[in-house]
A and B are shown apart, each in its own frame.
Chain A
Amino acid sequence: MNPVPARPLVAMRDVAVAFGPFQALRGVSLDVEAGQVLCFVGASGSGKTTLLRTVNQLVPVDRGAIYLDGELQGRRRVGDRLHALGEGEIARQRMNTGMVFQRFNLFAHMTALQNVTEGPVQVQRRRPAEARAEALDLLARVGLADKAGNYPAQLSGGQQQRVAIARALAMKPKLMLFDEPTSALDPERVGEVLAVMKRLARSGMTMMVVTHELGFAREVADRVVYMDAGAIVESGSPAEVLGAPREARTRAFLSAVIA
């Protein structure tokens, strides 16, 4: 057999999204190799969050295509036509990605442990005892073994966000999406969440991270993508994009953020 060329885990081609008259994404193309960590930076309204949400189909694309592990997302090709997938198929595709939200979105009526076991038990139909053991292990890995029985309202923001990371990991996703995971946290809680994310990155997880934490991007990212007005302005290694940006817009953004 001929060697198969390495296939990116995520391939986005000419992805465009409009919310009414507002063009949120204007034909974005991007590849993410397995094991890479990509950080997306840019001003609010630049399309970073929308891009992230197209990958797990929380936002449907108007134009273009997204492949995850070789599988076209949200649509199926039949002959020379594309058909929208049904709800069940979309739900199945979503299980390949885990998502962490800016505002945590933990299930408020469930304990930390129940939040983590909910997906494996209710969606993947795994045995409750097995899911519970794995969930306790995940909670221990994010440093919350002693908080398994707590409800979200009894946890700090940083603790809630770490439970949210455990909840996403419990589904054994191929890709993790982080949408400004530290923006809603008190400054002294940011470090504990970033530490968990760094460990996850080192373990080889593929990650797409929308963030304003340039220090985190510099240290952890394989690639930094700077976006503006629904398009990628430039992307490259942290040293290139954050250290020696080529584009004037990137320089203007960085000087405004760092100043």
Chain B
Amino acid sequence: MTTGAPVPLAAGFGDLSELRTARRAHGGRWLAAALILAVLALLVRAFARGQIEWDYVGRFLTVPVILDGIVATVVMAVCAMALGIVLGVAVAIMRLTPNPVLRAVAAGYTWLFRGTPVILQLLLWFNLALVFPVIGIPGLWSGRAVDLMTPFFAALLGLGINQGAYTSEVVRAGLLSVDQGQYEAAQTIGMGRMTALRRIILPQAMRVIIPPLGNEFIGMVKTTSLASVIQYPEVLHNAENIYYANSRVIELLIVAGIWYLAVVSVLTPLQMLLERRFARGVAGGRR
């Protein structure tokens, strides 16, 4: 680079410094937007004229049974996801230990619970009493399986244990993404495996783990609807109960749909907050 007096341009190159750059027209974008708006307008018109009584949707949106249902949905999603994360982290760590027994147990768990439909697992847990009429710890405590396996408990086990199998793979990918040198540095300052995982490896793996985990959590909010088959009173189950009585099938399905969208819409910014928290120290992350 030379500085100082501007170098004159060679012959044939015009001086452009006085000219303005025109903005691009983007005609295609305008056309696409217009087309999409037209299709949306048609859809809205179709639904407005179709056989949907929208005042029913408004009226049932906030009835106590639906509100109880959405609370039950969120509670189950949070509890099952919490169980899934605890199991997933434990299983991911087991899969990365040098201990072959733990590795085999972890791989077997993932294989079994990822390999069967979650609805089948829910039905199995709910009907556990058919296999084991009495469950408990021999000599300490026992109870009848029918009383113990409430819809809540069966749904928690079914959804949480299934989620753990998927989460373990997400966590494992995160642990593998952390440079081996970080683990070696932790060892050289006298850390054991578990301390190194907790203090050094997992916090850095979180940056990789959180986006897919947010995805899994959003999936879980909707998968709780499967628990309606074992009488867990989540929002879809309650909406169904109402339309069995009043036959407003579509109206109540729309009510449930609005609530699912609302919950998921709240979760997305929460995920972004978490992502920023764990971007510490990374170039471009929050300082």
- Which residues of A are in contact with B by a Cβ distance under 8 Å? 56, 58, 87-88, 91-92, 94-95, 97-99, 101, 103, 105-111, 118-119, 122-124, 151-154, 164, 167-168, 171
Contact = CB atoms under 8 A, between A and B. Distances in A.
Given A103-B181, A105-B184, A94 B190 contact: yes
A109 B192 contact: no
Interface string B18-36: 0000000000000000000
Contact of B182 (A99, A105, A122): A105
Interface in B198-236: 199-200, 203-204
Given A91-B192, A118-B189, A123-B189, A101 B181 contact: yes
B193 interface: yes
A94 B193 CA distance: 13
A198 to B, nearest CB: 22
B188 A94 contact: yes
Contacts of A103: 181
A105 B287 contact: no
B192 A88 contact: yes
Contact of A94 (B187, B199, B280, B287): B187
B189 A153 contact: no
B184 to A, nearest CB: 6
Interface in B35-62: none
A71 to B, nearest CB: 15
B212 to A, nearest CB: 19
Given A101-B185, A105-B181, A107-B200, A119 B280 contact: no
A56 B188 contact: yes
A98 B192 contact: no
B188 A99 contact: yes
Contacts of A87: 192-193
Contact of B282 (A99, A105, A108, A167): A108
Contacts of A101: 181, 184-185
A151 B279 CA distance: 11
Say what secondary structure dominates the interface of chain A. mixed
- Which are the 6 A-B pairs with shortest beta-carbon distances? A119-B189, A105-B185, A151-B281, A105-B181, A95-B190, A99-B188
Contacts of B287: 151, 154
Nearest to B198: A122
Contact of B190 (A92, A108, A111, A151): A92
Q: Tell me which of A87, A103, A122, A154 has the highest count of chain B C-beta atoms within 10 A of its own C-beta.
A: A122
A91 B184 contact: no
A87 B282 CA distance: 31
Interface in B255-280: 278, 280
Contacts of B129: none
Given A56-B188, A91-B190, A105-B181, 15 more contacts: A58-B187, A87-B193, A91-B187, A91-B191, A94-B189, A95-B189, A101-B185, A106-B185, A108-B182, A109-B204, A123-B195, A151-B281, A151-B287, A168-B188, A171-B190
Contacts of B278: 109
A123 B281 CA distance: 22
